[in-house]
Structure 1
Amino acid sequence: MPHSDDLLWGAYGDISRFAALLTMAELGLADHLAKGPLTTAELAERAGAHAPSLRRVLRALAGLGLVTRAGDDAYDLTERGAALRSDAPGFLRSSIRMLGEEGFWYAMGTLPETVRTGRSAFVERHGHLYDYLARNPQSSELFDDYMTARAAAFTEGLVKRYAFPPTGTMVDVAGGKGHILATVLHANPQMRGILLDLEHVVDHARRTLADEGLTERTEVVAGDFFVSVPSGGDVYLLASVLHNWDDEDALKILRNVREAMNPGGRVLILEVVLPDTEEPHLGMDVDLRMLAIFNGGTERSRDEYAALLDRAGLAMGDVIELGAGASLIEALPR
């Protein structure tokens, strides 16, 4: 067992290590080093950085095993560091960049104030996350890139491990740019799709679905899921939606879905599901982000989802692990 002081000092150093990772991700250092070692001066020129400052960060990155010395003042990319290339599979680089975004950084830094008051300090300063993103296009682009990359990590598992109906319509509620819907429709060529999202998002979705050759099989609708969702669907997907809201707001969304769905339809909830124990789990980290960024946002356990679904007139079915920390909860009408 590590000494308690070791744990505390490890946590103390985490923010410095994250700042070094963020610098590597933001400056694209892994991309610049992808073809071989560079001197600090060469790397600084390509990354648009101050060489003496960059040298100090590279020293820290070498300690993390992400780069390695390749001469007196040159560095090379390691296999571990290659995970931060822009073309690397997974969503590590986009996650780091999103967590280092100014508003997200502020949210985590003011978590003590949020815990003191029970109100998100981020929301008190910036308003709801999606209003903040609408006002800040660069942040919105970072967030969209993160969500797209994150979705790619578990969407493959979604279409491989869940048996969608061979025909019918899937409604992707708050479907973002439409990458999950596109993947499901490609895997199920007799299905049709409807994507619902906010006005400032739907044009991106239309472009994605057009690029995927799915315009004729899809409809994109601008709307508010607290008011209503498109009716007549056989499958309703809520991917990373309910964790943004407290139980009462999540219940409004689920009841709107329950009212709109076809008889015999189903609801698919794609979220992190917390374990019943307090063992280390990705969901615990994500839950603190929800606490910091949203008023009422929360990750939930299987029992908490079952209780929420029951109040909405739905019964929990299978819970399927998809990888990348995500699970798929199937819910059926009661």
Structure 2
Amino acid sequence: MIDSNDPIWNAIIGITRLGAMATMAELGCADHLAGGPMSVTELAGACGAHAPSLGRVMRELAAIGIVRTVGPDVYELTENGQALRGDVPGSMRGALRVMVEPGYWYAMGSIPETVRRGRSMFAERFGSFYDYLAERPEFERNFNDYMRVRAASISSALPTAYDFSGFGTLVDVAGGRGHLLAAVLEANPRLRGVLFDREGVVEHAREALGGRGFDDRCEFVGGDFFRGVPDGADAYLLASIIHNWDDDDGLRILDNVRAAMADNGRVLLLETVLPDDDSPHIGKEFDLRMLALFGSGKERTRDEYAALLGKSGFTLSRVLPLPVGASLIEAIPVQ
């Protein structure tokens, strides 16, 4: 008998469960089942799949509660399975497709060799993860969907967890499509924003935020944070940025922020802050993903962030908890 509480067996069983759910996501099965129950043969025809093989996957999905059997070889979506539809808020379809994308899968499977050699096998084979994304538009879309779902609860919590009302201008450094910046601007009508990212990303952000009512108070600037960031702002937000880099590169980014900032400015790092003890924390899982994809990227403890910020001329003033294991780290320039 397999002990369902055994972490080793859970890992072994989990990989096939992931494969089954990823198959459902890749084939769009949940979208086809949205209208009601379907037989395996009907579903396979709609998905362009091999019916006997799909039937075996559906059997596993029924066992874990993603679908339920309502007749011989006939299935319908459960409430959990609804999240795999592509047309629902908070859809997890893109996230699952990311998990089994060949390069991402290679990175996770190569962790033993990454640890043995002390360098990311993914980076050695494919180069920069962000270049990898840019060269694969469909994967990039799925990854952005995954990040947007992860960020949704954070975006809604951030404007109330931290008081932005005292700032005139906020720069969102490497802000992607601007979801966090948009949430802060909506909650603070007098605040001006600057979305700063790579040229190609900025254009996508301009499209994503178009029609949101920010045209007169949101600027879009392309550039490279290793060379500099827009100057003169009251606060600089770096969301899930520093954890992508080792201490040396993290210092280069923070040094550029400090150089651009007034002496009364603020730097806000939205990161996962690791606990110092053995308690479970999602950041420990994220840390292994950083190891696999970036090699030098890593999650840090509060003390490690304080030390890094100190080397760039900042003092860590407070850490505010946010949903899904995230935290907002506020730091002020050393006077």
TM-score band by shorter chain is over 0.9
TM-score normalised to structure 2 length: 0.94
Whole-angstrom distance in 2 between the partners of 1:99 and 1:33: 22
**Residue 171 of structure 1 contacts residue 196 of structure 1 at CA under 8 Å; is this kept in 2?**
yes
- Report the CA distance between 1:315 and its aligned residue: 1.1
The residue type paired with residue 106 of structure 1 is: Y
Where 2:176 maps in the other structure, the secondary structure is coil
Q: How does 1:9-24 map to 2 (within 5 A)?
A: 9-24=9-24
The residue type paired with residue 314 of structure 1 is: F
The residue type paired with residue 19 of structure 1 is: G
Question: What stretches of structure 1 move > 4 A for 4+ residues in a row?
Answer: 2-5
* Cα distance change, pair 8–151 in 1 and its aligned pair in 2 (3 A): closer
Where 1:165 maps in the other structure, the secondary structure is coil
**Residue 239 of structure 1 contacts residue 269 of structure 1 at CA under 8 Å; is this kept in 2?**
yes
Aligned partner of 1:36 in structure 2 is 36
- Report the CA distance between 1:182 and its aligned residue: 1.3
Q: How does 1:125-164 map to 2 (within 5 A)?
A: 125-164=125-164
The residue type paired with residue 79 of structure 1 is: E
**Residue 90 of structure 1 contacts residue 153 of structure 1 at CA under 8 Å; is this kept in 2?**
no
**Residue 129 of structure 1 contacts residue 293 of structure 1 at CA under 8 Å; is this kept in 2?**
yes
- Report the CA distance between 1:91 and its aligned residue: 5.9
Where 2:71 maps in the other structure, the secondary structure is coil
**Residue 91 of structure 1 contacts residue 153 of structure 1 at CA under 8 Å; is this kept in 2?**
no
Whole-angstrom distance in 1 between the partners of 2:53 and 2:159: 46
C-alpha root-mean-square deviation of aligned residues, in Å?
1.8
Aligned partner of 2:316 in structure 1 is 316
Aligned partner of 1:283 in structure 2 is 283
Aligned partner of 2:60 in structure 1 is 60
Deviations 1:52-106 (A, max 9, x none): 1110100111111111101011001111222222344446333222222221111
Where 1:219 maps in the other structure, the secondary structure is strand
The alignment covers a number of residue pairs equal to: 333
Seq. identity, %: 56
Aligned partner of 2:193 in structure 1 is 193
Where 1:65 maps in the other structure, the secondary structure is coil
Aligned partner of 2:251 in structure 1 is 251
**Residue 114 of structure 2 contacts residue 295 of structure 2 at CA under 8 Å; is this kept in 1?**
no
Q: How does 1:210-221 map to 2 (within 5 A)?
A: 210-221=210-221
The residue type paired with residue 24 of structure 2 is: M
Q: How does 1:318-333 map to 2 (within 5 A)?
A: 318-333=318-333
* Cα distance change, pair 280–88 in 1 and its aligned pair in 2 (3 A): farther
**Residue 120 of structure 1 contacts residue 295 of structure 1 at CA under 8 Å; is this kept in 2?**
yes
Whole-angstrom distance in 1 between the partners of 2:322 and 2:31: 29
Whole-angstrom distance in 1 between the partners of 2:85 and 2:301: 34
Whole-angstrom distance in 1 between the partners of 2:5 and 2:59: 25
Which moved further from structure 2: 180-189 or 79-88?
79-88
Whole-angstrom distance in 1 between the partners of 2:93 and 2:278: 28
Deviations 1:34-54 (A, max 9, x none): 232111112122222221111
Aligned partner of 1:116 in structure 2 is 116
Deviations 1:143-185 (A, max 9, x none): 2222222222211010121111244010000011111111111
The residue type paired with residue 190 of structure 2 is: Q
Aligned partner of 1:92 in structure 2 is 92
